[in-house]
Amino acid sequence: MENLLKVGYARVDITPEQYTNLGGTGNDAGRMCNRIETRIFGTCVAITDSDDNTILYCPSDIIHARACLADPAREAISQATGVPVDHIMINASHNHSGPSTSSPSLETVQIWFRHFIKQMVRCAKEAMADRKPATISAGQREVPGLTFVRHYHMNDGTVAGPNSGSFASGAKAHITNSDNQLQVVRFCREEARDVVLVNWQCHATSASGFDVLALSGDYIPYLRDHVEGSTGTHFAFFQGAAGNLVPRSKIPEENAIEPGVPLYGRTLADHVISCLNENMKPLAGGKVQAIKRTYTGMIDHSDDARGALAAEVLEKYLQYPREQGKEARKMVREAGFNSFLHAMGIARRASLGETLSFDIWALRAGDLGFISAPYEMFCSSGMYIKENSPFPMTFVVSCCNNTHDYMADETSFQYDIYEVNTRRFAKGAAEELARNFVDMLTQLK
């Protein structure tokens, strides 16, 4: 019993107290919420070993855990709980229908930031107070029909991408691996509700858009409610490596579910429930540990010659009123850029130095490993980490404690695609980071 972990759980409502700017379109100032579709929540899972070492994982229904939000939240949680800052992980579900985290200068966003931090401090304290002895079991299953490599809609009306029939002439589609592995961990607690953790690599279902102004938790509320209602457990969602994925397509495909955010969440929940009923195997308890490493990557300055023009286009784009979105996008294309975000990526890289550093984390709770990445990881990197991890079960957690946008794999650099166009780092960074994570996990084990 000395290796038995203690696990606590809490969830709080982080829905803005007043309507706020929405994130996820590249122009947060232009999207003000006008109604609440579903409320959004922050969760805290506290895991403590027999030596009183604790990690706090705090997944939330937000688009990014940017440093301007995550850093003060982690500091406040640490002061309230005594858990070291580097043992506290703020993880985003990458919800494109939630509050902006990219525009901290906006007054409504500042108000929501304060609300989020206050609520997450409360959540962490409640999770710490809720800790109970627990055993661990883990399971996984392949779910091939619920994640897709991104599809590209061509000018002639065809669609390029896996299983889309045929490729348009000259199509520059990104073909890469899709990780269909759903991972589930269950903490069976003494005299308390069990806690279920789910790691799934899937971009938000894009319920949002520039003209959609409803705030929601995307598919996560439907996933959470269905799992909890069917199993009587507490539920926490951990966003996986999904930088090159979108979960549903607007085109008919034999492996596509019917469009719909609620249906997506409930369908995935059915797979979680089946896994809980059929595929769980015990994991050992033991130590709780966290280690941090600072990664320094080379910035890609190959487009610097266009940096000044990109910055000019970016400034003009942001001056367009919301109702002139089509005209704004046309202006960007006529200037020679694929999108607003393409211009933004070039302008940003031109303004950066030769290198950029950020922190990455690896954690363990007995035989359960975690890596926390402050960027959108591609599936190829996530699969490499899981395949080479020394732990029986490893959660790859992206969008955690900051964001450095996409970390595209080497293969994708041959395509003219969004994830590469908006990059910061040079080719090879994704693979280098994946190797770092495996090395950190091996160090922990």
pLDDT tens digits, one per residue of 165-221: 333 333 344 455 778 899 999 999 999 999 999 999 987 765 656 677 889 998 899
Spans of the chain, pLDDT less than 50: 1, 152-155, 159-174, 248-258
Number of domains in the chain: 2
Q: Does residue 228 share a domain with residue 311? A: no
Q: Does residue 187 share a domain with residue 310? A: no
Q: Does residue 374 share a domain with residue 280? A: yes
Q: Does residue 339 share a domain with residue 255? A: no
Q: Does residue 311 share a domain with residue 251? A: no
pLDDT at 322: 73
Q: Does residue 238 share a domain with residue 100? A: yes
pLDDT at 207: 62
pLDDT at 154: 46
Which residue spans within 150-272 are E strands per DSSP? 152-153, 159-160, 181-189, 195-200, 214-215, 234-239, 245-246
Which domain, by its residues, includes 327?
A: 300-351
Q: Which of 324, 351, 378 is the last residue of a domain?
A: 351
- Contacts of 32-38 spanning 24+ positions with Cβ under 8 A: 32/108, 32/213, 33/99, 33/213, 33/214, 33/215, 34/213, 34/214, 35/213, 35/214, 35/215, 36/214, 36/215, 36/216, 37/97, 37/207, 37/214, 37/215, 37/216, 38/216, 38/217, 38/221
For all residues of the chain together, what is the average pLDDT? 88
Q: Does residue 203 share a domain with residue 120? A: yes
Q: Does residue 275 share a domain with residue 175? A: yes
Q: Does residue 384 share a domain with residue 305? A: no
